[in-house]
Structure 1
Amino acid sequence: MRITEIKSFLLCNPRDLHIIKIETDAGIYGVGEAGCSTREYGQEGVLRHFRECLFGMDPMRIEHIWQVLYRSAYYEGGRIITGTIAAIDMALYDIVGKALKIPVYQLLGGACRNKVFGFWTVGGLDELECADRVKEAIDGGWPAVRFAPADRIVPRALRTDLGKEDGTNVFDVRQSMAATAARFTAIYHHTDQRIPLGIDYHHRLSVAEAAQFCQMVPRGSLGFLEEPIRNENPDAYAALRAMTDVPFAIGEEWPSKWAALPYIERGLTNYARVDVGCIGGLTEAKKVAGWCEAHYIDMMPHNPIGPVCTAATIHYAASINNLTWVEVVPAFNEGASDVFPVTVERRGPCYRLPTTPGLGVEFDESAALKYPMKMHEHPHLQRPDGSYTNW
């Protein structure tokens, strides 16, 4: 079996997605999905280079192909590259699973569980409905919930109107910390501590701000604090780790096992937020999970994109022993039924393991052409003094 064609689809349904389709001379195709949203054009450019490497290769040589794609340009790595490799890697596993007539998790060592639980992001802590959603999550059997911080002063929708001067892109960190801590504490006491509650600060805090925030909520109340600071410098997390005993959830931006290395070896995270669509696919994500298991670090996969990446994440989660929960974003996975007529099935808080060969996703490329990508940027935020800050 040989690779004969690689197709790229940039679509929006309901959010921007970069889907690739790899075809073979055996009539079997595989689909994959690239991570790193808002940089899809860059990934499409990388794929143009990779096409020349992939034509004629044996799709069953997944590890070999990964090494060729990652190392052949001499300048290795980077999230745009590894996000593209991730899509190819998923598609190759899809092909091999279909060829052998087994689900992908069987290729990864078999199932460690018979279902995969997710956690629910119930919204921002400044939303009036937030407490009701937490109760709904508990009543619905969700094992954990996550909040976005209180930041109603910034728009939640993805925007293209950058550089606004009307104040709607201002993020006041001190206001956010105070409001987030107050509302979180109230909800924590209201839930009677029945399930873990986490907050995702999305890299918006400094080390000092994050340390202070951890002191603003009751000790032991935070099930996890996700990505409170930027992760380029592990020493910054080491400094923060020394200031608080709050569990950290870090890793959604790791582009490779090498980026994950210091966080794992130095015990800087308690939950590894590996993103199958960013780190280079199932091949690389599986290695990081084994590494984490040796250090008693639990996996909590990041999964914010579309149906193909979700399917790959569920197969990954099924195959690793050290799993807590996967991220579930129903709006990005359950609104594209004409493009993806068959996907992995979620019932309430959990996914049953797919039984169909490959990833268990069907892709209609003619339907995909009806939903061209709508170029967007995530909000460009600034602090009250006009300086840039992370979204």
Structure 2
Amino acid sequence: MKITSLETFLVAPRWLFLRIGTDEGLAGWGEPVLEGRAETVRAAVAELSEYLIGEDPLRLEHHWQVLTKGGFYRGGPVLSSAVAGIDQALWDLAGKTYGVPVHQLLGGPVRERARVYAWIGGDRPTQVAELAAEQVEAGFTAVKMNGSAQMRHIDTPAATAAVTARVAAVREVLGADRDVVVDFHGRMSTAMSRRLLRMLEPLQPLFVEEPVLPENSRDLRSLAESSGVPLAVGERLYSRWDFRDVLPSGIAVAQPDVSHAGGISELRRIAAAAETYDVAMAPHCPLGPIALAASLQVDFATPNFLIQEQSLGLHYNRGNEMLDYLLDPEPLRVRDGHIDRLTGPGLGIEIDEAAVRRADETGHHWRNPVWHHQDGSFAEW
């Protein structure tokens, strides 16, 4: 079997899909995207395809090594995202070739269902209690919310209290048998995170995500030592080498993204490295159905898996839901806050190719917001 084509599709609201075709008629699907830079990743995939055309798609590890190391300049989110989608599609092809789900090729399942959480509140969190109640009604056992909109380096007591009040309102709705995840989104300075983490301790969030920006990862150890709140990082780390210095810092949860951090192959390796530091896995995935299916394949084969992000109802998806591009949405249905083990070959989903091609005719031009403080200076989104 030889690779004959790599086609990319810009799919609203902000995704990029990839189809790898072969001379035997089998096709594999991946999601090589970097939100807000989809066109750039598309160009990177086109460049990498020059190597892949004519190659045996089942040499997954060899292709991963060549694609990530064959160029003199390596790493970074664009290249890693391009490789990630290609890797997903190659694993999809491998599973379809052998007639088994990808998790079977990763050593077999260690669980029968994966816990997932739902997003509430949007970029500037509002109505969080009401929205949390809706997700409880929908059967979710965990929700995630942004802690705040933009925050100053050291903000006022009122701004600080507003964060804890929102989380407290959600905790009251959820009770003690469900979980809330609080995303700081890199919007907090180390000083603000230190203050807020202590205030959030009584509310017992499942974890606080991105308490500092990746470039300030050296401060994670001091934050972990100053608070009992579990810390999670990783959506802006793109390889096991990026995680190398973070894993021993005291974090509780690693959050690599299967569409950014080198795909299924690298996610699996990051998970194994995390396990040696007693760090759980909660893969980042506010993306489309292919990325979610790829994440789940790793989840089902990963002992230290904790919980999975997914984008049903996410505020960026208005008008284009994740399940719209599947011929059969049942494999990714959420039941009682979980998704059952995928049993179909490859990634375990069937893409509606006609719908994807129609979507690409319109495409999208999604960009993340750019925020400013009241004084006009730049603020982290």
The amino acid across from 1:2 in the alignment is K
Counterparts of residues 107-122 of structure 1 (less than 5 Å): 107-122=105-120
What's the secondary structure of 2:8's corresponding residue? strand
Query: Whole-Å Cα distance in 2 between the matches of residues 185 and 198 of structure 1?
Result: 12
Aligned to 1:362: 350
Gaps of 5+ in 1: 152-169
Q: Give the structure-2-normalised TM-score.
A: 0.90
Query: Whole-Å Cα distance in 2 between the matches of residues 338 and 250 of structure 1?
Result: 30
Question: Which of 341, 365, 377 in structure 2 is aligned with 1:387?
Answer: 377
1:301 corresponds to 2:289: no
What's the secondary structure of 1:22's corresponding residue? strand
Question: Which of 244, 261, 274 in structure 2 is aligned with 1:292?
Answer: 274
What's the secondary structure of 1:368's corresponding residue? helix
Report percent identity of matched pairs.
Answer: 30
Query: Whole-Å Cα distance in 2 between the matches of residues 20 and 295 of structure 1?
Result: 34
Query: Whole-Å Cα distance in 2 between the matches of residues 360 and 189 of structure 1?
Result: 37
The 8 Å contact of residues 17 and 373 in structure 1, kept in 2 or not, is answered as no
1:341 corresponds to 2:339: no
Aligned to 1:161: none
What is the deviation of 1:203? 0.4
1:262 corresponds to 2:267: no
Count of aligned residue pairs for this structure pair? 369
The 8 Å contact of residues 103 and 357 in structure 1, kept in 2 or not, is answered as yes
1:347-371 deviations in Å (ceiling 9; x for gaps): 3311111221111222344322322
What is the deviation of 1:199? 0.7
The amino acid across from 1:88 in the alignment is I
Aligned to 1:375: 365
Query: Whole-Å Cα distance in 1 between the matches of residues 232 and 310 of structure 2?
Result: 16
Gaps of 5+ in 2: none
Query: Whole-Å Cα distance in 1 between the matches of residues 151 and 310 of structure 2?
Result: 26
Aligned to 1:228: 211
The amino acid across from 1:390 in the alignment is E
- Distance change (3 Å), C-alpha of 1:272 and 1:362: same
Question: Which of 48, 51, 54 in structure 1 is aligned with 2:52?
Answer: 54
The 8 Å contact of residues 342 and 360 in structure 1, kept in 2 or not, is answered as no
The amino acid across from 1:27 in the alignment is G
The amino acid across from 2:342 in the alignment is P
Query: Whole-Å Cα distance in 2 between the matches of residues 183 and 338 of structure 1?
Result: 32
Query: Whole-Å Cα distance in 1 between the matches of residues 125 and 17 of structure 2?
Result: 35
1:327 corresponds to 2:313: no
The 8 Å contact of residues 287 and 310 in structure 2, kept in 1 or not, is answered as no
Kindly report the root-mean-square deviation, in angstroms, between the aligned alpha carbons of the 2 structures: 2.1
Query: Whole-Å Cα distance in 1 between the matches of residues 130 and 327 of structure 2?
Result: 32
Query: Whole-Å Cα distance in 1 between the matches of residues 54 and 276 of structure 2?
Result: 38
1:145-181 deviations in Å (ceiling 9; x for gaps): 2222243xxxxxxxxxxxxxxxxxx766545432111
The amino acid across from 2:347 in the alignment is L
1:47-80 deviations in Å (ceiling 9; x for gaps): 1210111011111110110000001111111111
Query: Whole-Å Cα distance in 1 between the matches of residues 9 and 175 of structure 2?
Result: 47
Aligned to 1:163: none
Query: Whole-Å Cα distance in 2 between the matches of residues 238 and 363 of structure 1?
Result: 43
What is the deviation of 1:132? 3.3
The 8 Å contact of residues 148 and 184 in structure 2, kept in 1 or not, is answered as no
Query: Whole-Å Cα distance in 2 between the matches of residues 33 and 67 of structure 1?
Result: 19
The 8 Å contact of residues 119 and 144 in structure 2, kept in 1 or not, is answered as yes
What is the deviation of 1:214? 1.6
What's the secondary structure of 1:113's corresponding residue? coil
Query: Whole-Å Cα distance in 2 between the matches of residues 267 and 196 of structure 1?
Result: 24
Q: Give the structure-1-normalised TM-score.
A: 0.88
Query: Whole-Å Cα distance in 2 between the matches of residues 356 and 190 of structure 1?
Result: 37
Query: Whole-Å Cα distance in 2 between the matches of residues 256 and 126 of structure 1?
Result: 31
What is the deviation of 1:10? 1.2
Question: Which of 341, 344, 351 in structure 2 is aligned with 1:353?
Answer: 341
Aligned to 2:200: 217
Query: Whole-Å Cα distance in 2 between the matches of residues 388 and 27 of structure 1?
Result: 50
- Distance change (3 Å), C-alpha of 1:178 and 1:356: same
1:13-39 deviations in Å (ceiling 9; x for gaps): xx1211111111111110000132110
Aligned to 1:279: 261
- Distance change (3 Å), C-alpha of 1:41 and 1:188: same
- Distance change (3 Å), C-alpha of 1:203 and 1:268: same
Query: Whole-Å Cα distance in 2 between the matches of residues 277 and 191 of structure 1?
Result: 31
The 8 Å contact of residues 201 and 228 in structure 2, kept in 1 or not, is answered as no
What is the deviation of 1:139? 5.4
